[in-house]
Amino acid sequence: MNFIKLDGKDIQPSKIVCIGRNYVDHIEELENEVPAEPVIFIKPNSSISGDIFFNESDPVHYEGEISFLIRSGKLFAVGFGLDLTKRELQSSLKDKGLPWERAKSFDKSAVFSEFVSFSGDVSCLRMELYINDNLVQQAGYALMLNKPDDILNEIKSFFSLEDGDVVMTGTPKGVGSVNVGDLFLGKIYEGESLIVEGSWVVK
């Protein structure tokens, strides 16, 4: 089983619940339709990785996201997450009306910073993603179509969340390809205060 870090301690999620199409600018970027309800999909524990890997046969895109760790059914901690996606394969699957798992839930497709306990104002959270010192993605609560508490209630309406599970809240515009040697730096802020960050070099 794979682990994430919470305040320096190992945590073992049973699953990662992801929200698609939660920012209008990203929906437009990929020429998708605005959904009437949250788009929800799952990444298994086996998708968790401490590193970002280049895939020569299936090009991978990065998607930076504000992510939450669940405890007692509530949003307990926050971290920065990367939902890695085989974009060409995903497009092909969508065109055929098929599920996305092959493009979204493969091994090493979920990369996280450390998570930190959070009891602040969720509406003040925002994220930034830098690649090679260039800001490529930024967004926050105000731009989300579905807010974190609403996402949590929607998820819990049809399946259970276990302690340590992770919820990823969707990505804003600015997604792009992962390249060998790229330096990724993801940051989560509460207002103007940096509360957690993670960095990775693509292997």
CATH number at residue 173: 3.90.850.10
- The SS3 assignment for 93 reads helix
| 38, pLDDT greater than 90 | no
Q: Which of 31-45, 135-149, 185-199 has the highest mean pLDDT?
A: 185-199
Residue 55 has pLDDT above 90, yes or no: no
Q: What is the span of the domain harbouring residue 67?
A: 4-201
Q: Read off the pLDDT of residues 110-147 as tens digits, 9 standing for 90 and up.
A: 999 999 999 999 999 999 999 999 999 999 998 888 89
Number of domains in the chain: 1
Q: What is the pLDDT of residue 24?
A: 64
Per residue in 20-31, is it b (16+ CB within 10 Å) or e — as a string?
Answer: bbbbeebbeeee
